[in-house]
Structure 1
Amino acid sequence: MSLIHDPKLPASFNSCIWRRGYNPDLEFASNTNTIASQCEKVVLHPIPHSQHRPIELRVNAVIVPQTVPFRRRFNLKKANWEKFAEYLDLYIKDLPALPIHYDTFVKMIKKSSRQNIPRGCRTKYSPGLNEESKTLYDEYVNRFESDPFSASTLECGDLLTSIVTESRQRRWREFVEPTDLTHNSRKAWKTIRILGNDYTKAQPVPQLTADQFAHQLLVNSQGNPNHYPPRAKLPKADVTISEGTSHFTRPFSMDDLCNAIKDMKNNKAAGLDDILCEQIKHFGPLALQWLLDMLNQSLCTNRIPKIWRKSRVIALLKPGKDPSIPKNYRPISLLCHTYKLFESWQPKQMAKNGLPQDSVLAPMLFNIYTNDQPAYPDTRRFLLADDLSISAQGRTFKEVETTLYF
């Protein structure tokens, strides 16, 4: 006999005198025919006006399908990437490479994806099942529903378990051999949870609306509207910057774009344009050239697509916090991957043409720059070895602030 108990379950008896919970009710199952491994203890809701909570013993099947919500997604493993790139190049052949046409470019990507990438959802999925074991699984389900403890049901369950276990072990070996667990442990643990029979229940969905999260974000981000002095407004660039005026405004090259796309990681959430990294990596030659021309146009004119200025905000629950309170969530912003390509180029330009930290020329140029610092009225300046300081004195904080700013 085996004791069926989970220490994470709530107590089945709550003493009013001692103000503690106990588990006096025990459940046992036979070790023969692997019945104990299929049993699960469940503590139900409390009985009204009583200190007791009823317990239930559930007998699960040897293979329990995972239930997932119906949410259609692209099956990238079965995508026809050659047709995807060919159709996309055909759709954008006559599209001008301007930031204002980026929305049309996104629509063409989605159109080509719908035609060449399967899109669907399985609400119930059993890892390890194939076409051969599917027939055996259907037979086992019929026998389990009629009599779960019969000899034929147990024998069929043992055979099905051995076949599925062998399939999962083969899949696990195929995954572990080429995977570097040191740098990609998240994917390894995800596969372990998928291949294992874990009956842990999912956390309940919090009954909070998007307006409550948005209100909490506004409360957290409220600043002082009367802050003095006001933030300066940058002038808009109405004229095109001439090429070659600065190394920092040097246009992108095709090699730069290909290297940036190569450094992008897969399995990353998309922004508001719903374009994935896998789709960008399979662009055709015309699509890459269109994207390159659009990025250079944005760099020269200081104008970017409007959708790049927006992000998709996701609220994540803080560890160990109550999910019913909005302030227990932290937000993350999902940006467009094409904007990340554009943004990642600027630090590379600065690292290549600027002065990195601990450079030999940095102290010399810093001394030349700080030696010509102007002295403002009613202020004092201090030139240090690697920094500078400006100080002022006044009767009120506002007076000191005005002196320093002006």
Structure 2
Amino acid sequence: MLHSAALNFIPKTSGYFPKRPVPWWSPVCTTTVRCKCAAFSRLCRNCGDTTLLEDFRRARARARRVLKEARRASWETYVSSLNTKIPLTQLFRRVRKMAGKFSPSSPPVLKVNGIKIMDGLIVANTMAEAFARVSSHDSRPLVVRHELRAKEHTVLDFSGNENESYKHIFTLRDLHSALSLCGDTSPGPDNIPYAMLRHLGEEAISFLLALYNRIWLEGVFPSGWRIATILLFLKPGKDSSVALNYRPIALTSCLCKLFEKMVNLERG
């Protein structure tokens, strides 16, 4: 239901930027250019108005001055930070950015046993296998593995006092308290952000609370919450052809993370 509402009422951007951003751009530049565009629009609606023409010329002159000063200040700051230790590739990359010229980032090329891997699907599977190996039980010390297996086979006793906190259902107060602590992080594969959850109506928020209580009481767990979007970031100064030199960041469902926060706050 939430996913359908998001698709129907929340527009998505194409991801295409008609003009590439430059490092010297600032909010002041944005405001100044908007004022110039607004003055031009007023002039177009009232052609021949000399007062509006003068307003537009002043706004255009101010925009040119602000952009020129911002570009010069950014360039001076960058030049003052240069030293002999900066690689030439980084130097020219910065110069290209200053000029608004961007090279599209290419997918990583891995090297396994001296063989280069360039196919995107094979690269993704190779990285997944590498991270799976270092995250498996076999990568841990033998003593730790025995302790984990013993704890995993321990049968939990839930026949205690009925007043235990874990036997109570969650309330709207619990949900709102947890939601207030959530930042605006990127959503998972369902594309449902925290901002959307904060704007749910009373009926929808009650439905969500009922879902959380069913998960808690019945032990059911949505299969979609087990899926994450994995982003890989190369560690600074590391060889880009080695899979383990990338830091994986998992974007999981905000609905799942909100429920986890409720459990930690009220049942932890």
TM over 0.5: yes
Q: Which residue number corresponds to residue 224 of structure 1?
A: 138
Aligned equivalents of 2:104, 2:244: Cα separation in 1: 18
Question: Sequence identity, in percent?
Answer: 22
1:18-58 CA distances to partner (integer Å, 9 max, x unpaired)? xxxxxxxxxxxxxxxxxxxxxxxxxxxxxxxxxxxxxxxxx
Aligned equivalents of 1:243, 1:200: Cα separation in 2: 67
CA 1:223–1:241 in 2, change beyond 3 Å: closer, same or farther? closer
Q: Which residue number corresponds to residue 120 of structure 1?
A: 13
Aligned equivalents of 1:130, 1:350: Cα separation in 2: 50
Kept in 2, the 8 Å contact 1:322–1:328? The answer is: yes
Aligned equivalents of 2:159, 2:201: Cα separation in 1: 29
TM-score when scaled to structure 1?
0.40
1:54-102 CA distances to partner (integer Å, 9 max, x unpaired)? xxxxxxxxxxxxxxxxxxxxxxxxxxxxxxxxxxxxxxxxxxxxxxxxx
Q: Which residue number corresponds to residue 253 of structure 2?
A: 336
Kept in 2, the 8 Å contact 1:243–1:250? The answer is: no
Q: Which residue number corresponds to residue 258 of structure 1?
A: 176
Aligned equivalents of 2:9, 2:255: Cα separation in 1: 21
Query: 313-322 or 284-293: which moved more?
Result: 313-322
Task: State the 4+ residue runs in structure 1 displaced beyond 6 angstroms.
Answer: 165-168, 234-237, 240-243
Kept in 2, the 8 Å contact 1:270–1:337? The answer is: yes
Gaps of 5+ in 1: 1-107, 137-156, 169-195, 352-406
Gaps of 5+ in 2: 41-59, 72-96, 110-122
Post-superposition offset of 1:110: 3.0
Aligned equivalents of 2:261, 2:234: Cα separation in 1: 29
Q: Which residue number corresponds to residue 34 of structure 2?
A: 130
Kept in 1, the 8 Å contact 2:187–2:251? The answer is: yes
Matched, 1:307 2:224: yes
CA 1:265–1:123 in 2, change beyond 3 Å: closer, same or farther? same
The code of the aligned residue for 1:115 comes to N
Kept in 2, the 8 Å contact 1:206–1:323? The answer is: no
Aligned equivalents of 2:210, 2:103: Cα separation in 1: 47
Aligned equivalents of 2:193, 2:129: Cα separation in 1: 30
Post-superposition offset of 1:263: 1.6
Q: What is the root-mean-square deviation in Å for CA atoms of aligned residues?
A: 4.1
Q: Name the structure where strand makes up a greater proportion of residues.
A: 1
Aligned equivalents of 1:254, 1:228: Cα separation in 2: 41
Post-superposition offset of 1:336: 1.4
> For 2:247, what is the secondary structure of its paired residue?
strand
> For 1:124, what is the secondary structure of its paired residue?
coil
Count of aligned residue pairs for this structure pair: 195
Query: 208-217 or 123-132: which moved more?
Result: 123-132
> For 2:230, what is the secondary structure of its paired residue?
strand
Q: Which residue number corresponds to residue 65 of structure 2?
A: 162
Matched, 1:247 2:141: no
1:266-316 CA distances to partner (integer Å, 9 max, x unpaired)? 2x1112222111111111111100011111111111222122233322222
Kindly report which structure 2 residues correspond to 1:95-110, keeping only aligned pairs within 5 A, or say none: 108-110=1-3
The code of the aligned residue for 2:3 comes to K
Aligned equivalents of 2:3, 2:69: Cα separation in 1: 39
Aligned equivalents of 2:167, 2:219: Cα separation in 1: 10
The code of the aligned residue for 1:109 comes to L
TM-score when scaled to structure 2?
0.58
Q: Name the structure where helix makes up a greater proportion of residues.
A: 2
Kindly report which structure 2 residues correspond to 1:319-334, keeping only aligned pairs within 5 A, or say none: 319-334=236-251
Higher relative contact order, chain-length normalized (CA < 8 Å, sep 6+)? 2
Post-superposition offset of 1:217: 1.1
Aligned equivalents of 1:340, 1:305: Cα separation in 2: 13
Aligned equivalents of 2:198, 2:70: Cα separation in 1: 31
Kindly report which structure 2 residues correspond to 1:3-402, keeping only aligned pairs within 5 A, or say none: 108-121=1-14, 122-125=16-19, 128=30, 129-130=33-34, 132-133=36-37, 161-162=64-65, 197=98, 204-208=105-109, 209-224=123-138, 230=149, 232-233=152-153, 244-266=162-184, 268-350=185-267
The code of the aligned residue for 2:65 comes to S
Aligned equivalents of 2:227, 2:256: Cα separation in 1: 11
Post-superposition offset of 1:222: 4.1
Query: 204-213 or 218-227: which moved more?
Result: 218-227
Kept in 1, the 8 Å contact 2:3–2:190? The answer is: no
1:182-213 CA distances to partner (integer Å, 9 max, x unpaired)? xxxxxxxxxxxxxx957585684243421221
The code of the aligned residue for 2:13 comes to G
